Amino acid sequence: MRDVLWVPWTEMAEEQTPPAGSGADELRRDKAEWGERATSEPRWPALLAVVSAMALYFVLPDKLISGLGPRWLVPALEGVLGASLLIASPRLTRESRRLRPVAITLIACVNLANVVSLAELVHELLVHTHANHGGRDLIYASVPIWVTNVLVFALWYWELDRGGPVARLEVQRRQPDFLFPQMTAPDATRPNWSPAFVDYLFTSFTNATAFSPTDTMPLTPWAKILFMVQSLASLLTVALVVSRAVNILN
């Protein structure tokens, strides 16, 4: 199926010829107040999320990361990929489209490490039910796994929505994969608004805590599937940890 181009009404208005007289002056005042549509986006918020996930990986017990090789292997790979992105393209522009496979590989590495850690956590909580001391350590370890779950899905949403952050800088953009509140209330935000990483981080956090969409709705099949996977991972982590904590307290 061919992609459908999505041109918001605000961008269509910008391409029209300004009316003469006071209308043109009003349009110029609007642009001076709100600013032009962004042509680049900083990469550091996403890389900060990756660095945070790497730091959380280091605090996990050895038994939850033993299936990934030495403790330094995954963070080293993520560090090389992140450093290459930051050096080659500190800001996301149309010219940095060629680096998108590297960014997707980096996110996939973070996701894989967290999935393995979550699987090991589930195994330990279900199998070693008699060791209360070890159970407490596993409960503590569930916190960085849950936080990493929020970070990695925020990265996926940010990287995949409308074809990625670079594609979202284009004047003609694909149909959105997420419906943000700003899209339904254009009068309440600036005309050239476009989601940034913090918007996807908020979406990921609320989905992980509520186990369902809150103010941002998934529109396309892949977005709905990602929402379901994240909610399942979050629910699985919380449910097992709560049941294990009750068992320890009893």
Mean pLDDT of successive 10-residue stretches along the chain, which has 250 residues: 47 44 45 51 87 90 80 85 79 75 89 89 74 68 91 94 85 84 81 86 93 88 94 86 67
Cα 116 from chain centre: 19
Helix (H) or strand (E) holding 6: strand 5-6
User: How far is 210 from 105, CA to CA, in rounded Å?
Assistant: 28
pLDDT of res. 250: 57
CB 53 within 8 A of CB 114: yes
Separation between Cα atoms, residue 42 and residue 203, nearest integer Å: 19
Helix or strand or coil: residue 110?
Answer: helix
For position 26, what pLDDT does the model report? 45
Q: Which residues contact 198 (CB under 8 A, 6 or more apart)?
A: 45
State the sign of the Cα–Cα–Cα–Cα dihedral 207, 210, 212, 217.
Answer: negative
3-class SS at 7? Answer: coil
pLDDT at res. 219: 92
pLDDT for the residue 1:
44
* Nearest Cα residue to 154 out of 187, 196, 186, 118: 196
CA distances from 76 to 45, 69, 91, 163 (A): 20, 12, 23, 28
Contact, 131 vs 169, CB < 8 A? Answer: no
Structure tokens, 221: 């099949």
Q: Which amino acid would we find at residue 115?
A: V
Opening angle at CA 30, ends 24 and 34, nearest 5: 155
Residue 179 has φ and ψ, to the nearest 5°, of -105, 105
Give the pair of three-digit tokens for residue 88. Answer: 């080659």
Beta carbons within 10 angstroms of residue 144's beta carbon:
20
- 161 and 175 Cβ atoms separated by less than 8 Å: no
- Judge whether 173 and 10 are in contact, CB under 8 Å: no
**pTM for the whole thing?**
0.80
Cα–Cα dist 107/134, whole Å: 30
